[in-house]
Structure 1
Amino acid sequence: MSKLTCKDLLLLLLYVPGHTSNICEPIHGRTRLMKMVFLFEKELYHKFRYDQVIQESDLPDFKPHNFGPFSKEVFDNLEFLINLGFIESSNSNQEAHEDEAQEYYWWKDDAGIFEDLYEDPLFEKYNEESFALFPLGKRFVEENVIKELSENQLNALEMFKSNCTKVELSILLKYVYKKYHEYTSQSRIKEKVLY
């Protein structure tokens, strides 16, 4: 049995059914996806470690950041899989949740992308990103990743995805902030989320 990586986990989260019960159900928003990977590590990983399907050393390192727990590795892996043609990132044409949009602006600002005077976050409307598997990613998961998991592990992932995708982002953030407060020390929205 080969072990699964953080990249495989991202692909699995996009493959398994969620609240719609359809495989390859998209996940809406970078913040939601980030919190899902974080919650997998904290609350679901124990179902995967006993048979060493996923090694703890292969899980991303989360640190306190602007919106609570953040892992640069998750963002880097997501971009890698998008560039590889496994994951599609699309604009949902729906205005993003306020917290999602604010995180996007801060992320661009931290990266120095707003250097041009004409490119100002006040003038840029951010629409929510949706992430879904391209056929190449779906085939990779079906041929290489799914076979590594037990039926119980797949069921746990499906229930997990359903729970994380059926609630508003603000509810998911509040849950993470209350339960894992040690990851909120750098948060720019802590007061807003908790009170």
Structure 2
Amino acid sequence: MSQPLNVENSLDLLLVLLYAPGQEKKECEPIDGITRLQKLIFLLNQGKGPSSLVKIAKEYSFEAYKMGPYTDSLREDLDTLISLGLVGTKRLNYMISDDRDDLDYDIDDPDYKQGEKRKRIESQRFYLTENGKVAGSELWHNLTSKDRDALKEFKTFFCTLTLRQLLIFVYDQFPKFTVKSEIKKQLGL
């Protein structure tokens, strides 16, 4: 008989976060953009969300960077999950006009150039593959109902915010992680 699959490390944390229902109240809701995913994991790391997952999120070490709090380890974990066939990515294209604020798209994306208004912006959507859904489901169902409810509330709230709103929230709550920010003025802070 196999051991139950519990959230025990940062890879499991990403799987259960991607499995959790969000604003559409459906399991396996994807997360759009590496910037959003970085900030969600950062917020867990800082104590927002279910306590059992906050403990796991502490595995990540964040530092101040051009978009606020950042960790290379998250990208490494995503690459691992992608190579294991548990997480997939889909390229997203955003169209913006010259008069629209350019913080509604993913600015940690390599295609973004500071100060340059672009008409077409590309980003990534992170989602669970079929194998990822199986692993995510087991992790999800082995959480306590209290932790499931808290994670659902966390993901729903923070994925409902626009990227700009999410960044303002993070910058306002955690100013020490904004000292190297290149977009503070654009956020009105």
TM (norm. structure 2) is 0.82
Report the CA distance between 1:45 and its aligned residue: 5.6
Range that drifts further, 40-49 or 99-108: 99-108
Whether the 8 Å CA contact 1:177–1:193 is kept in 2: the answer is no
Question: What is the aligned counterpart of 2:35 among 19, 26, 31?
Answer: 31
CA shift digits 1:119-147 (9 cap, x unpaired): xx88894323111100101111223x224
Q: What stretches of structure 2 of length at least 5 have no aligned partner?
A: none
State how 1:5-20 maps to structure 2 within 5 Å.
5-20=9-24
Aligned to 1:77: 77
| Pair 1:157-2:161 in alignment | no
Aligned to 1:113: none
State how 1:34-183 maps to structure 2 within 5 Å.
34-44=38-48, 47-48=51-52, 54-55=55-56, 59-95=59-95, 98-99=102-103, 100-105=105-110, 125-143=120-138, 145-183=139-177
Report the CA distance between 1:3 and its aligned residue: 5.3
Q: Which amino acid counterpart does residue 103 of structure 1 have in structure 2?
A: D
Report the CA distance between 1:40 and its aligned residue: 1.1
Higher helix fraction (1 or 2) = 1
Q: Structure 1: how far apart are the matches of 2:8 and 2:112?
A: 28
Change (3 A) 1:173 1:124: same
Report the CA distance between 1:5 and its aligned residue: 0.8
Report the CA distance between 1:78 and its aligned residue: 1.0
Whether the 8 Å CA contact 2:93–2:121 is kept in 1: the answer is no
Change (3 A) 1:67 1:151: same
Whether the 8 Å CA contact 2:111–2:122 is kept in 1: the answer is no
Report percent identity of matched pairs: 28
Change (3 A) 1:147 1:101: closer
CA shift digits 1:99-124 (9 cap, x unpaired): 44443238899xxxxxxxxxxx8889
